[in-house]
Amino acid sequence: MKVLNMSNIEQLGDQLAGLSLKDAVELSKYMKDKYGIEAAAGGAVVMAGGGGGAAAAPAAAAKDSFDVVLKAVDAAKKIGVIKVVREITGLGLAEAKALVDAPGKPIKQGVDKAEADKLKKSLEDAGGTIELA
């Protein structure tokens, strides 16, 4: 186990504090899978199985607002994806096509979990690859 001096601890703390929610969730999964450490309700650290180091994973806050992000499009189904994007956003044909042609941008922002799941399913059924952020 590596011994950390105060400078390293401060750097690590600054890095943890700067994590996005998505990165914090990934870190939490990694700590649980690799070391058996998981955050309990309220942010306390729980050791699963008693193994692993003494590092703490940040508690992932319960998320109530999601962005539906188009990550990729099946080229053979692009027209179907454009149609669904138009339905979801109310954009014109040219604007929807531009959005589909530049994956990685949110299709809809700040929606609840149920709506995000519904939109994700519609877009995936049409041929898109979706990420909820």
Give me the pLDDT at residue 94, please. 92
Q: Which is more confidently placed, 26 or 39?
A: 26
Q: What is the pLDDT of residues 27-65, one digit of tens each?
A: 778 877 887 776 654 444 444 444 444 444 454 556 788
Give me the pLDDT at residue 3, please. 62
CA dihedral defined by 52, 57, 61, 62, rounded to 10 degrees?
-20
Q: What is the pLDDT of residues 74-115, one digit of tens each?
A: 999 999 999 999 999 999 999 999 999 998 989 999 999 999
pTM: 0.54
Give me the pLDDT at residue 15, please. 80
Phi-psi region of 121 (alpha: psi -120 to 50; beta: other; left: phi over 0): alpha
Task: With residue 88 as reference, give the H or E element that holds it.
Answer: helix 78-89
**Fold for the domain defined by 66-132:** Ribosomal Protein L30; Chain: A, (3.30.1390)
Q: Where are the domains of the chain?
A: 1-62, 66-132
Q: Which is more confidently placed, 125 or 34?
A: 125
